[in-house]
Amino acid sequence: MTTGAGGTEVQDLSSAKGMLRPSEQQADKPFIVYLTSTNEKFRTAQDVVEKTTLRDERVAISAKFLTMIKGEGEAITKTHPYYQWIGGKDLPRIVVFSAAGEKIGKLEGRASPSKLFALMEKAVSRHYEIDLEKAIKDYQKILTEIDKLSVLKDALKEKQKDKLTASEKKKVEGEQAALDEKEKELLKEEEVLLNPKRKNAA
C-alpha cells in the first residue's frame, strides 16, 4: 500500500480480487482502479492525470470516500481475468466502481478533474447518505480551522521561549490546553464527516 495525492491510501491491484465480481462480494467503499504505464508515449497524459487531475481539490477530498487501487495498465490484456471490467484502449485509465462492483464509468488518457469528479460523485451517492459537494465544503472548513490552530500553536511555542512570569506561564498553558481541546473537536468532526452513514445500513 502506498500514499497518493492528498494523503489518500492507494492499494495494489491484487486488492481488487472479488471486488470486481458483484455477485460474490460487496466492497467496503466505492472504488477506483487507476492503471498507469511506463511507456514513453503515455507520459504526457499520465503527467496531466497525476499532477493535475488527481491533485484537484474536489477530487482529492472525494477520494477519501473511495478505495483507490493502482495497477500496471499493460498487464490488463484481453486474457487478464479483470479485462472485462478494467480493460481498454488507452492509458492512463481510470475506472470508477460502486461498492457493489458496478462500473460507473471509465476515463482514458488526459482525464479532466470535472469528469472524474462526476463519476466519483455518482459512485459515492449510491453508497452513502451524503451530499458530496456539501461534504467537500465542510471538509475544507475543517482544514482551514486546523491550519489556523497550527499557526496559533506555533505562536505559543515561540512565546514559551521567552522568560515568563508564573502568571504569564499559567496563561500560556491555559491557551495551549484550549487549542489542544479545539483540535480534538475538529479531528472528531473530520472523523464523523469522513464516515457517513451507508444507504440501507442497519
Q: Are 119 and 93 in contact (CB under 8 A)?
A: no
- The pLDDT of residue 201 is 63
pTM: 0.85
Asked, as a colleague might, if the bond just before 92 is cis with ω within 30 of 0, I would say yes
- The pLDDT of residue 195 is 95
- The pLDDT of residue 162 is 87
| Assigned C-alpha cell, 56 | 484537484
56 Rama sector, left if φ>0, alpha if ψ -120 to 50, beta otherwise? beta
- Rounded to whole angstroms, the Cα distance separating 112 from 122 reads 16
- Rounded to whole angstroms, the Cα distance separating 162 from 146 reads 25
Could you identify the residue written with the cell 491555559?
Answer: 174
Where do the domains of the chain lie?
2-127, 132-193
- Rounded to whole angstroms, the Cα distance separating 130 from 115 reads 20
Whole-Å CA distances, 116 to 35, 46, 158: 14, 14, 44
One digit per residue, the tens of pLDDT, for the chain of length 202 reads 454 544 556 777 766 655 565 444 557 899 999 999 999 999 999 999 999 999 999 999 999 999 999 999 999 999 998 899 999 999 999 999 999 889 999 999 999 999 999 999 999 999 999 999 999 999 999 999 999 999 999 999 998 888 889 999 999 999 999 999 999 999 999 999 999 999 976 5
- The pLDDT of residue 1 is 42
Angle of the 132-159 helix axis to the 113-127 helix axis, nearest 10: 100
The CATH superfamily label for domain 2-127 reads: Glutaredoxin (3.40.30.10)
